[in-house]
Chain A
Amino acid sequence: MKTKTSLTDTLLPPVTILVMGAAMYMALVGAPNDADQGPVQRIFYVHMAMWLATFSAFGLVGLASLLYLVKKTEVWDRVGRAGAELGLLFCTLGLATGSIWAKPIWGTWWTWDPRLTLTLVLWMIYAAYLLLRNLVNDPQQGASLAAILGVSGVADLYLINRAVYWWRGIHPAVVVNKEGGTGLHDPAMRAALILSLLAFFLLFTWLLRLRLQSARLQGDVDRMRDRLAPGY
């Protein structure tokens, strides 16, 4: 059996590496130091990009779960699983970079800010999603069960969002990072952010494709083994 190599597969790795290199150069060298925070603020470019990848991945899990329940095609199950794995990876990295940034700036590794709480709850939901798949013997059934959780997770997202914001809403606002959004006045800073967002998004796409390919091959191997030695 031969795996087709499409144009995207050929181009994606070098383009990702190039953009990532450019993003790192801009973030570490090209962009000026932040006026208040100094060099520490440079972690922001990476941190922000993690969130784009995380939310793309978890959104993908929700969509794939819904499509799997409706259509029952294996491909959506693979997309859901790959999305959850990558989402969890980027979510962990996002929490870690955020924590490293928070220590010198907020003076603490962790605070129960609504956004942090929301992210931690999300992390737990998708960790349970992956755990669930590993604890079911029949892979097809595992896929259905995980898809139920994937759909519930998306349905829940809005409610968790409301709840944690209301929960902390009465308290004085925790220091909110003002660098984001309209805070970036320097064009070099803005370029660093855009490049970094693009770079990590490309990295996410690349990893997703690799993961899907390996899942498809794994499926092929399982099917062949089933035919050659049923019951093993």
Chain B
Amino acid sequence: MLTLIWKDLLIELRTKETVASLLLLGLLLLVVLSFAFDPTSPLRKEAAPGVLWVAIIFAGTSGINRSLLREREQSCLQGLLLAPVDRGTIYLAKTIANLLFMLAALCVLVPLFIFFFNLPFVTTIVRLLPVLLLAVTGFSAIGTLFAAVSLQTRAREVMLPLLMLPLSTPLFLGAVEASAALLAGDPLGAVAHWLQLIAVFDLVFLVVGWLTFEYAVVD
């Protein structure tokens, strides 16, 4: 499994295409969504967590799509399937690799978000860190499974968000609500129920993905 993760990281280090596209798309979304709100209006502050998450969702969706599409080019996926590894392990390796890509992109996106929305730097990062880690884990768990599913369909790029976004409603509701409360200065205990919900979501989809991935990749 470590080999599989390492393989993905190595390709990424050499091409830098997933993280680079994640970053640029995320940045673009942050900027475009900022246009939607009057810079002087108090609404802007309230919209901040929503803007951050919309940027993460859309950038992440296309990043994960990219990472699985790469496996399909030159039949890499078939090579992987022929290797004597359990399909569940391939899924977990791919999920962890996608998680690492997203975290790498977030290392730049979150500071930019703080910069654009004029928030206190250290406190914001410390406060958002648990929500970001938990929600991005769930996101790559469900994203990797359904990217593999949508890979088999005719309308690949459109299919992933269509399949994934309704299913991840609880994840995003939890992430946005928890981020909003934390940015407003609530203690971590006040959002514990949201964090729990996100953690359960992560667990459910890691297990579902691990068990069903083999049906998604058969030819």
Contact = CB atoms under 8 A, between A and B. Distances in A.
A148 B215 contact: yes
A166 B193 contact: yes
Main SS of chain B's interface residues? helix
B104 interface: no
Interface in B101-153: 142, 145-146, 149, 152-153
A121 B169 CA distance: 8
Contacts of B167: 125, 149, 152-153, 156
B194 interface: yes
Main SS of chain A's interface residues? helix
Residue in B169, B177, B201, B212 whose Cβ sees the most chain A Cβ within 10 Å: B169
A144 B212 CA distance: 9
A145 B170 contact: no
A121 B174 CA distance: 15
B175 to A, nearest CB: 10
B162 A128 contact: yes
A15 interface: no
A151 interface: yes
A146 to B, nearest CB: 9
A194 interface: no
In the A-B complex, list the 9 residue pairs whose CB atoms are closest, starting with the nearest.
Answer: A163-B170, A124-B166, A159-B170, A135-B153, A144-B215, A163-B173, A125-B166, A148-B212, A135-B154
A163 B174 contact: yes
B205 interface: yes
Nearest to A120: B166
Interface in A127-148: 128, 131-132, 135-137, 141, 144-145, 147-148
Interface residues of B, number: 31
A43 interface: no
A138 B177 CA distance: 41
B159 interface: yes
Contacts of A125: 166-167
A149 B165 CA distance: 12
B169 A163 contact: yes
A48 to B, nearest CB: 24
Interface string B75-96: 0000000000000000000000
B208 interface: yes
A144 B205 contact: no
A155 B163 CA distance: 14
A145 B162 contact: no
B216 interface: yes
Nearest to B181: A170
B169 A144 contact: no
Contact of B154 (A124, A137, A151, A167): A137
Interface in B162-196: 162-163, 165-167, 169-170, 173-174, 177, 193-194
B149 A145 contact: yes
B155 interface: yes
Given A148-B145, A162-B197, A163-B197, A128 B215 contact: no
Nearest to B166: A124
B163 A132 contact: yes
Contact of B149 (A124, A148, A160, A164): A148
